[in-house]
Amino acid sequence: MMSTETVDAGDTATPSREARAVVEFEGIDKSFGGNSVLEGVNLAVRPGFTGLIGPNGAGKTTCLNVVSGYLRPDAGDVRLGGQSVIGMRPDKVARLGVSRTFQTPRLIPNLSAVENVMVGGGRHHRHGHIAELFGVPAARRDEKDQRARARELLGIFGLGEHPDRAANAFPIGSQKIIEVARALLNDPLLLLLDEPAAGLGAEDVDRLVEGLNGWLAERPEAAVMIIEHDLELITRLCPTAAVLHFGRIIQNGPPADVLRDPVVVEAYLGADVAAGD
């Protein structure tokens, strides 16, 4: 979709930090009952990896819920490629190219790994489920393509060996990675990951990093927004990270700088003290 504002010329080698925002949060407020959870959140997410960090309860998941259509903010706007997504349902936002994972994996336990990844299909699916039901040849071809792509995605995360094994037979770390692979099936423009490394061992974290890097390397226009408590992973993957604290963005910049900021250190320490650590 074209807009009237000036855009970066496509023929110049624009560094990704200068690139146009994939998604922009502008003045987002959200409260539950009397509890204000997001206050005036402004954030532009550009192509590549962006971290969203902050203590427990800071409002990180709420931000993802707002951009993916699961929650309607009380005020402000969220624009995807310039188009407002406020008021759109999650399936509509997904069709615009937004994929997400959840803090706790939502796999279908008895389906195989590859079938779970295929559940992510839809945006590029030309033939509906009815066509599939009747075994229409074109629909069968779609199914075959999707299966092949799902296997490929499991492969880039190092999980290609047992694609037909039931999802619940995989360790929890692998299940979380299968969910990430599912979110990639539609080739999203914006991938939202909610604590993808929680519960993962070092080997799984490496798989996750390699798979995501490999996927993104071929998609210079896509953005990946990662919520994570594993700050080492954020530093490893993200050229930039925003810090949420009590619903406000208190810092935004290269993770190494952000994590040295006394205000950010204080936010994390304060949260630890409150949690009794």
For Mg ion, the binding residues (CB under 5 A) are 60-61
| Residue 245 in the binding site for ligand ATP (CB under 6 A) | no
| Residue 138 in the binding site for ligand ATP (CB under 6 A) | no
| Residue 226 in the binding site for ligand ATP (CB under 6 A) | no
Considering only 55-63, 107-115, 158-166, 248-256, which stretch makes contact with ligand ATP by CB under 6 A? Answer: 55-63
| Residue 57 in the binding site for ligand ATP (CB under 6 A) | yes
List the x/- string, 69-108, binding to ligand ATP by CB under 6 A: ----------------------------------x-----
**Which of 178, 141, 140, 179 minimizes the C-alpha distance to 161?**
178
Candidates 50, 62, 116, 240; binder of ligand ATP (CB under 6 A) is 62
Burial class (CB in 10 A: 0-12, 13-18, 19+), 131: middle
| Residue 58 in the binding site for ligand ATP (CB under 6 A) | yes
| Residue 199 in the binding site for ligand ATP (CB under 6 A) | no
| Residue 61 in the binding site for ligand ATP (CB under 6 A) | yes
Residue 101 contact partner, candidates Mg ion, ligand ATP, none, CB within 5 to 8 A by sort of partner: none
**Spatial distance between the Cα atoms of 146 and 149, rounded to a whole number of angstroms:** 5
Instruction: Report residue 42 as tokens.
Output: 């402004």
Output the CA torsion sign for 206, 208, 211, 216. negative
List the x/- string, 15-44, binding to ligand ATP by CB under 6 A: -----------------x----x-------
Enumerate binding residues for ligand ATP (CB under 6 A). Answer: 32, 37, 54, 56-62, 103
